[in-house]
């Protein structure tokens, strides 16, 4: 009889493990997404290459990591995307993008898409 009870306990534990591994679908239509455009900034004068750093600060989700994607548009050219890097989020909610190899008087715009609207600030 002890073997029967042990088998029942093992079966119960296996069922609980299966229940923990179960995945449930999430309705993507319940997630509210925003698209925010910075507006064009003209790079300053000077000779040589310029790297520009722009910070996106979300309205919601301060103090958390957010699902935000940043894409630069240089000289209104949607086909050529300038080389850029988005820094990993540090938990403050802000996201920084560095746009590399710009020259004087180029027009730069950044589009943010994600779970929060926000504001842009030029850092460098």
Complete DSSP assignment for 57-84: EESS-TTS---EEEEEEETTBSSSPPPE
Over range 62-71, report the average pLDDT: 84
d(C-alpha 9, C-alpha 33), whole Å: 46
CA dihedral in degrees (78, 80, 85, 88; nearest 10)? 30
Give the tens place of pLDDT for each residue, 8-64.
Answer: 899 998 888 877 766 666 666 677 889 999 999 888 767 778 889 999 999 887 777
DSSP 104: T
Q: What pLDDT is attached to residue 65?
A: 76
Q: What pLDDT is attached to residue 19?
A: 76
Give the tens place of pLDDT for each residue, 73-89.
Answer: 988 876 677 789 998 88
For the chain, give every domain's residue range.
28-122
């Amino acid at each position: 009889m002890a073997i029967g009870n042990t088998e029942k306990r093992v079966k119960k534990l296996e069922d609980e493990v299966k229940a923990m591994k179960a995945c449930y679908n999430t309705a993507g239509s319940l997630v509210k997404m925003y698209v925010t455009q910075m507006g064009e900034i003209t790079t300053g004068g000077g000779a040589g290459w310029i790297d520009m750093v722009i910070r996106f600060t979300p309205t919601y989700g301060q103090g958390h990591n957010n699902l935000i994607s940043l894409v630069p548009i240089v000289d209104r050219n949607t086909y050529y995307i300038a080389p850029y890097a988005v820094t990993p989020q540090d938990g403050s909610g802000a996201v920084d993008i560095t746009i590399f190899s710009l020259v004087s008087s180029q027009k730069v715009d950044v589009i943010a898409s994600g779970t929060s609207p926000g504001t842009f600030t030029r850092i460098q």
